[in-house]
Amino acid sequence: MKYCSNCGAEVAWTIPEGEDRHRFFCEQCKVIHYTNPRVVAGAIPVQDGKILLCRRAIEPRHGKWTLPAGYLENGESVEDCARRESLEEACAIMDNLQPYSLLNISYINQVYMIYRAHLINDDYRPGIESLEVQLFSPNALPWEDLAFPVIRKVLEMYCHDLRTEHFPFREINILPGNKEAS
Amino acid sequence: MKYCSNCGAEVAWTIPEGEDRHRFFCEQCKVIHYTNPRVVAGAIPVQDGKILLCRRAIEPRHGKWTLPAGYLENGESVEDCARRESLEEACAIMDNLQPYSLLNISYINQVYMIYRAHLINDDYRPGIESLEVQLFSPNALPWEDLAFPVIRKVLEMYCHDLRTEHFPFREINILPGNKEAS
């Protein structure tokens, strides 16, 4: 942020009066411009025990596999966002969405909310942001070709929980360098 | 948003090429300015079965009771935000935080994440944004003087779940006009 979105003047990176940390602040119109983490909602769409993954047609990580997920938009619920992204990226229709995990990626200011879900349609297919979509058995996931550490972590947890069929809601912190802390 | 935060030119409210909805778009430097919902993290701090509430010293709803909660900042986890807000608003120190509910307030672009938590210190006291803080028995909560519909909904759920001591994680949609949908 270089210019004030309210008045167009240059902004300062400073601690405004009454604040406890640096903010973008406009000294002309006195507006504080808060910047906050973004929410990403996604799903693990499951059909007959298999997990639907999408191979990315866009950067970053073009050609790598991921779960359908994307940024929460204004005016929608987190669950609706997970549904919309699955429809857009994989033409996947889901029901019985269950909140499964909250993953903080604080170093890039993202919060992931991932649902377990039943994939109910058979005509899933690539959306515009996917090269292909495919159902994978949990014992045949493309571990070497996953797009992001957060997706690896979610799939590891899911495969772990599958053994006991117990899927507790968890909050996990994803750390830089592919390390994770719970 | 009136001006581009990247170059200072006036922005347009339009559907940029490749987008599926209206965005603030700078036709001079071609930057799309996405705006997304904000996350609010908060807690139900419990000690000896009683719930810690804060009476607001700030607008909106000055003088009304609320749970400690506030906006997620860049660089912090959702749980850490709930801890920080409880410390700032009530000098409350908590442990054993358990994710309890996700509440969409889509019509104001907010997502609340509320934890159940043990309040472990006895010297809780008002922070700068609180007039007073007080422990309330679940059967003596100040229902008529709560600050926000989302806080009422969380406390209603908590009191309901107390009867069975079973606290499932839920996602709830808060609708305008104090209606709720789950």
The pLDDT score that the predictor gives to residue A177 is 79
**What is the average pLDDT across B127-150?**
97
Out of B6, B33, B74, closest to residue A36 by CB: B74
Nearest chain A Cα distance for residue B99, angstroms: 8
Judged against a pLDDT cut of 70, whether residue A180 lies above it is answered with: no
Q: Is the pLDDT score of B120 beyond 50?
A: yes
Kindly state the helix (H) or strand (E) to which residue B159 belongs, with its residue range: helix B149-162
One-letter identity of residue A123: D
Does the beta carbon of B171 lie under 8 angstroms from any beta carbon of chain A?
Answer: yes
Cross-strand pairs, A40? A71, A112
Residue A182's pLDDT is 46
Domains parsed from chain B with CATH numbers = 1-35 (2.20.70.10), 38-181 (3.90.79.10)
Mean pLDDT computed over B27-46: 97
Of A94, A149, A78, A84, which Cα lies nearest the Cα of B78? A78
- In this prediction the pTM is 0.95
Residues B56/B131, Cβ–Cβ less than 8 Å: yes
Give the model's pLDDT for residue B182. Answer: 46
Chain B residues within 8 A of A111 when measuring between CB atoms: 39, 72, 78
Please answer yes or no on whether A109 and B36 come within 8 Å at the CB atom: no
Look at residue A178 and tell me whether its pLDDT is greater than 80. no
On chain B, the residues whose CB falls within 8 A of the CB of A72 are 36-37, 111
pLDDT at B177: 79
The more confident residue out of B156 and B178 is B156
Contact B119, B47 (CB under 8 A): yes
Interatomic CA distance for residues B68 and A71, integer angstroms:
27
pLDDT over 60 at A24, yes or no: yes
* Token pair for B20: 């599926």
- Which candidate in A111, A170, A174 is best for mutational testing of the B interface (most B CBs within 10 A)? A111
Of the candidates B92, B100, B109, the residue with the CA atom closest to the CA atom of residue B52 = B92
Q: Rounded mean pLDDT of chain B?
A: 96
